[in-house]
Chain A
């Protein structure tokens, strides 16, 4: 399998007032194309820092982050913007849809100007929202909004999906629907998914789990027998 993401000795230090906060310390891991990876850790462990650096939202203080052959820590502001636009699909805990755009427009907005993208209405159909594509976010439930967010992330055919606690704000049923969708995208469409969570119940569904604690990658474990969502009992 081809390596798509490589974290190589990554450090991230924030200056908060007069205090230096070491959010990441010498983080190393690798993700291969088509993998379903969970970055697991407690609150404040450094998961979101990894996601922000991976997604080109933040830059590492030192170290290399190679994504699809490019060291994104060396990219210019403009190149980083293009990287986010073309290669990354984001799914956030609180959906982060644009309130003044309908579901369809939210999806189209993210892939506007890109070639070879999915039709927004098709992708909304795939996430089960064909009949609600003209609804504004405020007219949708949390689960539906998250499905729109997934459709928005997938529509541009990204190299990988970055999902930050995508079920964190949802009830169990809606959470399961969202996870099913992510699993389907990974298994059927071979889309690389990187999911951040603090919920240990989700770990069996991943090919690989990156354990993060106090800003350090403590362990990278592989699931020999990854479980399908239908086999898992989530509460």
Chain B
């Protein structure tokens, strides 16, 4: 066995690159498997104890106003263990540079549900506030600082007593359209009831007894709630944070199994083909070993070293890459995405052993299948030369007009491929996986850029100012090129979970805002209704022409119930808003004076003008169109490493598959290639034969991959849509061409590398070998 092992390692040395390609595929499988299992594993092992320790509410009941004593009536419902009331308000942080908002919660007395995890400092007393640590970090706030919070012209100056995270805001996004939290502009805060003065409770937190489900108690909760100005109930499972984390865990769990399964299947097929070819070329050696009395088992174990070694090296490399590259990156993404104190992505034993076992199992099965037939043959048969594989006619030959026109290299190629379907399949599968990964990554990147472009097209003002016109004139003076007045209000859609939107009432002739549908066709603001964000309309099945109930919330906090007509939909990829014309507002509500404006300036630094305006206490908020673009730009930057990994993996996979299959091809066709050389065929013609074969594999794989690309990209978009984000869902021709182009380029590079083994074919030796 020791001698056989030596022989095995010498064989590997002879086919280094082929072995390396195989190891690379196993490494990628391990890399993905361990990485993705690490996310789902770390998150699920962290989140359940976290939810339990800080007691995530089973449901939140929303009210317009609820008296404190109402809690008792909810506590009497069988199955309700605890109930707590609180007030939740969205407040602006007045000294923030980024028009930041905080979702402020009062802390109920004897707070047991949705308790905050203190990261630094202490619980807030009167005149103090606890803010989330990521918001504090992004806005350079620290314990002991004082912040000014503004809500409907009321102001509170509060000292930061501590930094925290809360179980209910573990995925803390301002609105469902956002892919990642923007911690500079949105955070959460908790304060004692007395800090607000008179608290008007608008939320009731419910904790259920063990063994009770919300569905058991929901009818009684609703029956009790309707006695008050009740809005709706949101169960734990529908809360955006809970949902986002569950989706991440579930998706990654599936992906961590499916992706490596595909990759290990490809590597097994390659092992199967490589070993079949190796065993076949060594049939006489196997015959001699058997003649010398070496048992079948020993010979089989000797070949088993191939999958064992490739798994060992591949898993080691994949694990190393995952540990040093993927895990830190995932950890960073985890920190940017989730607000979980002390959360860290770590590799578990389970995540390490699973890919190792799958790869080993698949590899050993492939090895067993490829060696079984030859090991069963008797010794004499093995020592005789192997008969040539029978060629057969192709369907294409029945069309002589076409067949006779084909060059001999194509005839050879087509017949060879029809005989070696498995080899073709293995190569094509690897390349297909590459095209799918590449197109999905490029498609997602193109979507991000499209989002950026659409946002630029949509918002063409320099400054959006929420203030009095006199201030603008005073600060900007002769720098104004164009000014357009608007009214900025809030609209709460009654029948759609009371979702709040920024409501911009514009002059239809303004060129500062443009609206587009999903296909980038212009949507013109009309006087007969609203423009609603398409993603929201799709999610709630709202179509143009429909009437919706809404509550208009004005700056002074007065609310007015309305019935509004949806006229059109527009694709908005970030911070979606509802738009209407001033004429429509007049018709449906009455006269409301403009409270802001958009400005285009002639010259000057927009950022410094913004700062100058923000320094003035009269300015309520100032933003630039670049602020919106910056959000997407940050998103692109954050996703860059993920794109790079996808593309790198695709390249390695494609190279591995094409190179391995091609070198096997060269070895198998060595005799034919040597004969071609002897017959006077030039190297170029021989290269062409093999290169055409690779191009054919690549072309077939590209075409077969197209529907899967659409499917894969669709899955990514669907997953994001499920959480309310809007991503352009169309894969453009250029993305396909890009993905296919890179794949073809990899084929060309692989072909160049294959020139060496072709050049090294020794005609005399090759022919003698077969004789």
Chain A contact residues, CB within 8 Å of chain B: 48, 52, 55, 57-58, 77-78, 81-86, 88, 90, 92-94, 96-101, 105, 108-110, 112, 136-139
Does B408 contact A94, Cβ atoms closer than 8 Å? Answer: no
Give Cα A112–Cα B676 distance, bound, in whole angstroms.
12
Does A138 contact B390, Cβ atoms closer than 8 Å? Answer: yes
Return the contact of B681 from the options A52, A81, A100 (Cβ within 8 A).
A81
Does B675 contact A105, Cβ atoms closer than 8 Å? Answer: no
A200 to chain B, nearest CB (A): 22
A213 to chain B, nearest CB (A): 20
With a CB–CB cut-off of 8 A, which chain A residues contact B676?
98
Given contacts A96-B671, A138-B387, contact A84 B416 (CB under 8 A): no
Interface string of B668-700 (1 = CB under 8 A from A): 000110011111111100000000000000000
Give Cα A178–Cα B229 distance, bound, in whole angstroms.
106
Does B682 contact A78, Cβ atoms closer than 8 Å? Answer: yes
Given contacts A81-B680, A81-B681, A85-B679, contact A136 B408 (CB under 8 A): no
Does A100 contact B678, Cβ atoms closer than 8 Å? Answer: no
Q: Which residue of B lies closest to A114 (CB)?
A: B680
Besides A84-B679, A105-B408, 9 new A-B residue pairs in contact (Cβ under 8 A), listed by A number: A81-B677, A84-B678, A90-B679, A96-B675, A99-B391, A109-B408, A136-B390, A137-B391, A138-B390
Does A101 contact B764, Cβ atoms closer than 8 Å? Answer: no
> Is the C-beta of B324 less than 8 angstroms from some C-beta in chain A?
no
Does A109 contact B679, Cβ atoms closer than 8 Å? Answer: yes
With a CB–CB cut-off of 8 A, which chain A residues contact B408?
101, 105, 108-109, 112
Does A99 contact B767, Cβ atoms closer than 8 Å? Answer: no
Given contacts A81-B682, A138-B388, contact A100 B415 (CB under 8 A): yes
With a CB–CB cut-off of 8 A, which chain B residues contact A96?
671, 675, 678, 767, 770
Give Cα A88–Cα B389 distance, bound, in whole angstroms.
28
Return the contact of B771 from the options A52, A84, A94, A98 (Cβ within 8 A).
A94
Does B680 contact A57, Cβ atoms closer than 8 Å? Answer: no
- What are 16 A-to-B residue pairs whose CB atoms are below 8 Å? A48-B764, A81-B677, A81-B681, A86-B680, A90-B678, A92-B767, A92-B771, A93-B771, A98-B672, A100-B415, A100-B419, A101-B408, A108-B408, A110-B679, A110-B680, A136-B390
> Is the C-beta of B305 less than 8 angstroms from some C-beta in chain A?
no
Give Cα A178–Cα B474 distance, bound, in whole angstroms.
108
Does B412 contact A101, Cβ atoms closer than 8 Å? Answer: yes
With a CB–CB cut-off of 8 A, which chain A residues contact B763?
52, 57-58
B526 to chain A, nearest CB (A): 69
> Is the C-beta of B253 less than 8 angstroms from some C-beta in chain A?
no
B402 to chain A, nearest CB (A): 15
A83 to chain B, nearest CB (A): 8
Chain B contact residues, CB within 8 Å of chain A: 387-392, 408, 411-412, 415-416, 419, 671-672, 675-683, 763-764, 767-768, 770-771
With a CB–CB cut-off of 8 A, which chain A residues contact B671?
96
Return the contact of B678 from the options A57, A78, A82, A139 (Cβ within 8 A).
A57
Given contacts A98-B412, A136-B391, contact A85 B680 (CB under 8 A): yes
Given contacts A99-B389, A109-B679, contact A52 B764 (CB under 8 A): yes
Give Cα A98–Cα B683 distance, bound, in whole angstroms.
17
B670 to chain A, nearest CB (A): 12
Give Cα A52–Cα B764 distance, bound, in whole angstroms.
7
Q: Which residue of B lies closest to A80 (CB)?
A: B680
Given contacts A99-B672, A105-B408, A112-B408, contact A138 B678 (CB under 8 A): no
With a CB–CB cut-off of 8 A, which chain B residues contact A108?
408
* Most chain B CB atoms below 10 A, which of A84, A93, A97, A100: A100
B399 to chain A, nearest CB (A): 15
Give Cα A11–Cα B411 distance, bound, in whole angstroms.
41
Q: Which residue of A lies closest to B768 (CB)?
A: A48
Give Cα A39–Cα B681 distance, bound, in whole angstroms.
27
Given contacts A96-B675, A101-B408, contact A85 B681 (CB under 8 A): yes
Q: Which residue of A lies closest to B680 (CB)?
A: A85
With a CB–CB cut-off of 8 A, which chain A residues contact B416?
100
With a CB–CB cut-off of 8 A, which chain B residues contact A97?
675
A159 to chain B, nearest CB (A): 13
Does B391 contact A55, Cβ atoms closer than 8 Å? Answer: no
Q: Which residue of A lies closest to B682 (CB)?
A: A81
Give Cα A100–Cα B408 distance, bound, in whole angstroms.
10
Give Cα A82–Cα B681 distance, bound, in whole angstroms.
8
Give Cα A96–Cα B675 distance, bound, in whole angstroms.
7
B14 to chain A, nearest CB (A): 15
A198 to chain B, nearest CB (A): 14
With a CB–CB cut-off of 8 A, which chain A residues contact B415?
100-101
B680 to chain A, nearest CB (A): 2
Give Cα A110–Cα B671 distance, bound, in whole angstroms.
15
Give Cα A86–Cα B682 distance, bound, in whole angstroms.
12
With a CB–CB cut-off of 8 A, which chain B residues contact A94?
770-771
Given contacts A58-B764, A138-B390, A138-B391, contact A100 B679 (CB under 8 A): no
A120 to chain B, nearest CB (A): 12
Give Cα A105–Cα B682 distance, bound, in whole angstroms.
19
Q: Which residue of A lies closest to B674 (CB)?
A: A96
With a CB–CB cut-off of 8 A, which chain B residues contact A58?
763-764
